[in-house]
Structure formats: C-alpha cells, structure tokens
Amino acid sequence: MQFITTENAPAAGGHYSQAVVHNGFVFVAGQLAFVPGQKEHRPGPITDQTERTLRNIEAILQAAGSGLDKVVQMTIYVSDMEMWGDVNATYMRIMGSHKPARAIVPVKELHYGYGIEIQAIATT
C-alpha cells in the first residue's frame, strides 16, 4: 500500500491520506474545492467549485501515476440538486469522452459552505 501526498492539491484536513494506491488502483479521498495553499474558504459558483474539485483530483491522480482518463468510478456529493445541471455540464467539459461509472449523492450540507465533494477510484 502506498499513501499519496502532493502539494498540488489541498492537504488532508484530518486523519486520512489524499489517496492510497493498492493493487493497481488509486483511491482518492473526497475532495472539496479548496485551492491548494489557500487558507480562506471561498466556495464561489458551483461551476468553479466543480472544476476546482476535479483539478484537485487530477493533481492527486498524477502524483499517483494515474490521471482523469484512468478513473473507473466517481462519487459526487451535491448539497443542492438544483445545481446538478451546472455540475454535470462542467464535469462533461473536463472529463470529455471518458465516462467512468458515477453516483450522485444529495447531501444536506458540506464543510465550509461548499456545494460539491467528489471522491474517485482510478487505475494506475
């Protein structure tokens, strides 16, 4: 088992790793739209949050020797399903023709007022 840490994504805020590599898979912990190195929390529009969250996942995957094109499954937590159209449009733009398995989970709220959290599983 290999534990992944990169300065190109937000540091883990608790007792967990940004990702774990095991048996050819990368398990990325849930990511919010934190800007790496920035301490203030400024959620902003959901389209910006979605892109920042996916870019954080991308940086972690790259540190693990993987990439967004190797994602096999994503779980997306959204605090308001009214935002889903914007989330999905941004997701499609970034993911392109790659379509991993995906689950959308509506939640009551997320840390610091963010509207989206995403976790991912990819191959190496």
Phi/psi of residue 66, nearest 5 degrees: -130, -160
Phi/psi of residue 67, nearest 5 degrees: -175, 170
pLDDT (mean) for 67-83: 97
What range does the domain containing 86 cover?
Answer: 2-123
Query: CB-based burial of residue 20 (10 Å sphere; 0-12 exposed, 13-18 middle, 19+ buried)?
Result: middle
Domain CATH number, residue 64: 3.30.1330.40
Residues in the chain, how many? 124
The total of structural domains in the chain comes to: 1
Residue 47, amino acid: T
Q: What is the mean pLDDT of the chain?
A: 96
**pLDDT tens digits, residue range 4-57?**
999 999 999 899 999 999 999 999 999 999 999 888 888 899 999 999 999 999
